[in-house]
């Protein structure tokens, strides 16, 4: 089994997640991922400065606003928007970054490496099937 697959499993065992880029559109991945994690019994928090709430749950503008520190952040935003959230995660001591397809580039991967965080590049919807 590859190191990435083992890291994926390690992250999926963590129970407190934040979905950066959660949104109110049931057709979009940010909403689908948020709801899939909730349905699977995870304690999950939506993070998106553009919304007050997602499906009736309070939405947070950034990771620092969360009522608890998540174990994992699931990135559902472009690399350009994601950089600040990864810096914030590192400063808060959040070590695990789950990168959905399309949310990473060489810069994001380098940033995760330089900050000594653990990152996987995979679709959480596929991983939770």
Residue boundaries of the structural domains of the chain = 3-127
**Tens of pLDDT along 67-90?**
999 999 999 999 999 999 999 999
pLDDT value at position 5?
A: 85
Angle between helices 106-114 and 79-92 (to 10 degrees): 10
The architecture in CATH of the region 3-127 reads 3-Layer(aba) Sandwich (3.40)
Task: Return the closest-CA partner of residue 52 out of 71, 33, 42, 65.
Answer: 65
**For the whole model, what pTM was predicted?**
0.95
**Tens of pLDDT along 10-55?**
999 999 999 999 999 999 999 999 999 999 999 999 999 999 999 9
pLDDT value at position 44?
A: 98
């Amino acid at each position: 089994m590859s190191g990435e697959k083992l890291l994926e499993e390690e992250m999926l065992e963590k129970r407190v997640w934040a979905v950066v880029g959660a949104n109110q559109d049931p057709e979009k991945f940010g909403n689908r991922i948020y709801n899939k994690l909730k349905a699977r019994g995870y304690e999950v928090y939506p993070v998106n400065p553009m919304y007050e709430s997602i499906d009736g749950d309070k939405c947070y503008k950034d990771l620092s606003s969360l009522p608890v520190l998540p174990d994992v952040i699931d990135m559902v935003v472009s690399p350009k928007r994601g950089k600040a959230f990864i810096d914030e995660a590192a400063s808060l001591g959040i070590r695990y970054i789950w990168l959905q397809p399309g949310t990473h580039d060489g810069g994001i991967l380098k940033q995760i490496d330089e900050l000594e965080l653990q990152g996987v590049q995979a679709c959480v919807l596929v991983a939770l099937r």
